Amino acid sequence: MKWSAWFIVMFLVLEARAKDQPLRPVPDITRATCLQFNREVKHYIRRGVDIPLAQLTFFKLTRYRMIEGFEDGRYSRDRLATGLYELSRDIDKVTKACQRKISRKFVDMLPESVRTLLMASAVQHE
């Protein structure tokens, strides 16, 4: 009985550690290039993972950074809502633009409202 309890506890600890450690390095979206974004897209395509583009790391980090800036009081709820809406609306457009211009920064391909919010958030991170 003691061994089974120990086994369950160790399993839970290992599972928690695995969730805390990303499998790949997390990109800095303000410095990342479209080439890096395209590699992530190709990685998921090769693995046969059928997920929406919005679930790719770059888009998740973009949303996270915008929400983080709002929570820090850098901009209003309306500006955040506009940025999140325009990001979700333009995901296909951003992806296609990055495929055409691989040397450009990922952030440069995002809608203007999203870039503005990210730049407001970046001031705090520096």
Dump pLDDT digits (tens) for 26-37: 678 889 999 999
Q: How far is CA 120 from the centre of its chain?
A: 17
Global confidence as pTM: 0.75
* Residue 100 resides in a domain: yes
pLDDT bracket for residue 39 (50, 70, 90): very high
* Residue 17 resides in a domain: no
* Residue 10 resides in a domain: no
* Residue 20 resides in a domain: no
What is the reported pLDDT for 1? Answer: 46
Average pLDDT over residues 89-107: 96
Q: Domain count for the chain, please give it.
A: 1
* Residue 6 resides in a domain: no
What domain range is 96 assigned to? 26-125
Average pLDDT over residues 16-43: 76
